[in-house]
Amino acid sequence: MSHHYQLIWFRQDLRIQDHAALWHATQAGPCIALVILSPKQWQLHDDAAIKIDFYLRQLKQLKQDLEALNIPLMVQTVDLWKGIPQFIENLLKHIPFQNIYANIEFGFNELKRDNAIHHILNLQQKQLILLQDRTLFPIASIRNQSNQPYQVFGAFKKTCYQRLEHGLPQCYPSPLQQLPIELNLTELTNTDIEQLRSVFQDQLRENTECEWKIGEAHALALLDQFVEEHLAEYKLARDFPAQSGTSQLSPYLNIGVLSIRQCLQALFRKQLGHFTIQSEGQQTWLDELLWREFYQHILFDFPQVSKHLPFKASTQNIEWRDDQESLKQWQQGLTGIPIVDAGMRQLLATGWMHNRVRMICAMFLSKNLLIDWRIGEQWFMQQLIDGDLAANNGGWQWCASTGTDAAPYFRVFNPVSQSNKFDPQGDYIRKWVPELKGLDAKTIHEPYAKNSSIKLNYPKPIVDLKLSRVRAIEAFKHSQ
């Protein structure tokens, strides 16, 4: 058996093209690929069934794509991450690989897991070689003049722009086909992907598979289509949930079917890869990609956000309300506030929610209902196909005014005004709240406002928006 295999460990990066760790591993010698599935860990992290299913479907595709390169894939289930070091130790006895290559993950538990593996490998003069892949710029590399991490998006973004002026991060070449490996890995593969998928099937709703197709080719086609057809209108269209004004690429970026460098390169393709901003749409989409970048860096630099703690320690003492009934109504889209209910039902039905509506729903829970943002964060994670700790936590803490660069606590969206502004014809509401289908564009945002006795199979608002706004501001003021 050759002693020169490299092990390439795929995690949240299920693709072949533009893959930092895969590229480096294949440059070092023949490779064997590894994926470790940890269903109990997913449960602890509140990963949604739809996200797991999407991951497993993409994993099957990855297996085929790797086979075409003669890279065999081992798929192993290790229920909890704490069992992984032991698994790696056993693997060393069966495959005399040289090093393990993987793309770095920034969460606190992820880093702890990788440290334990470093230790085991080092004892055998081997290494876990971690590559930067998930972000445009290496973590801990965007610093202010005092060499400290940024806590405010504007300043972070400015430094990113300066870095981009020196050149866009380049995509890695695709690996070449290697010679076939004569190695029987069946004993080292304890997982049938389809069988594991069936465990999550019951929790899935209909139509999810046809809505969220897998595959790198599909993700790249979506990216191209967005850049060609929607980018020009993005600045205007992105806030209107009834329009397909955004890319809907988040599920693909999240499990790494698509890389962030591929997005950036596509964004500047017409400028031949030069950092020249030529339209508002281009600038606005770049800024959204940088919001993603910002929260990834925050996750690494401020590990408290991985531990259910607010970014702003001063918000620790807010007295959140324990209101199980309202929480349930919010979760099921039965609050009596149409735009909130439409968003929450879109989430339940598709595993995805439009960004503007995510903000409205999150603010409604954390401000109008004064329910702890962490409960909302968890619910989103349990439903989202693109559930990502950094972005979800960042989004929730922004809305709840507990996070970096967050909305000031006295800024409380009025969901009805938001609805009038961003869903003016009520089309988004009509789609997700069919009970209100027959109402006109004026009435649909607040059905009982002008006529409280109107007969509708739809609840009355569970909270008074004005009074609850004042209650939230008071609660935040008193906690300071």
List of residues contacting ligand FAD (CB under 6 A): 238, 246-250, 253-254, 288-289, 291-292, 295, 355, 358-359, 362, 380, 384, 386-388, 391-392, 394-396, 399
In the bound complex, what is the minimum distance in angstroms from residue 331's beta carbon to ligand FAD?
Answer: 14
386 assigned ligand-binding residue: yes
Instruction: Answer yes or no: 228 catalytic.
Output: no
Q: Cα separations (Å) of 393 from 117, 204, 206, 323?
A: 27, 24, 28, 22
Residue among 110, 211, 280, 288 flagged as catalytic: 288
In the bound complex, what is the minimum distance in angstroms from residue 374's beta carbon to ligand FAD?
Answer: 12
CA atoms within 13 A on the CB side of 187: 7
In the bound complex, what is the minimum distance in angstroms from residue 26's beta carbon to ligand FAD?
Answer: 27
* Contact assessment for residue 41 and residue 81, using Cβ atoms and an 8 Å cutoff: yes
Residue among 355, 414, 420, 435 flagged as catalytic: 355
249 assigned ligand-binding residue: yes
Residue among 291, 330, 398, 432 flagged as catalytic: 291
Instruction: Answer yes or no: 288 catalytic.
Output: yes
289 assigned ligand-binding residue: yes
285 assigned ligand-binding residue: yes
* Contact assessment for residue 354 and residue 246, using Cβ atoms and an 8 Å cutoff: yes
Residue among 89, 320, 420, 435 flagged as catalytic: 320
CA 69 – CA 15 distance, rounded (Å):
13
Instruction: Answer yes or no: 320 catalytic.
Output: yes
In the bound complex, what is the minimum distance in angstroms from residue 472's beta carbon to ligand FAD?
Answer: 16
In the bound complex, what is the minimum distance in angstroms from residue 457's beta carbon to ligand FAD?
Answer: 29
Rg, the chain, Cα only:
24
Residue 85 or 310 with smaller CB distance to ligand FAD: 310
Instruction: Answer yes or no: 432 catalytic.
Output: no
Instruction: Answer yes or no: 9 catalytic.
Output: no
Residue 54 or 97 with smaller CB distance to ligand FAD: 54
CA dihedral (432, 437, 442, 445) positive or negative: negative
288 assigned ligand-binding residue: yes
Residue 174 or 248 with smaller CB distance to ligand FAD: 248
* Contact assessment for residue 41 and residue 12, using Cβ atoms and an 8 Å cutoff: no
* Contact assessment for residue 314 and residue 480, using Cβ atoms and an 8 Å cutoff: yes
Residue 29: left if φ>0, alpha if ψ -120 to 50, beta else—which one? Answer: left
Residue 83 or 215 with smaller CB distance to ligand FAD: 215
In the bound complex, what is the minimum distance in angstroms from residue 62's beta carbon to ligand FAD?
Answer: 20
388 assigned ligand-binding residue: yes
Measured from each CB, the residue nearest to ligand FAD is 395
Residue 248 or 414 with smaller CB distance to ligand FAD: 248
Q: Cα separations (Å) of 398 from 347, 367, 395, 405?
A: 20, 12, 5, 7
Residue 114 or 377 with smaller CB distance to ligand FAD: 377
Residue among 396, 398, 432, 446 flagged as catalytic: 396
13 assigned ligand-binding residue: no
The residues annotated as belonging to the active site are 288, 291, 320, 355, 373, 396
Q: Which residues are annotated as a binding site for FAD?
A: 234, 246-250, 285, 288-295, 386-388
Q: Which residues carry a binding-site annotation?
A: 234, 246-250, 285, 288-295, 386-388
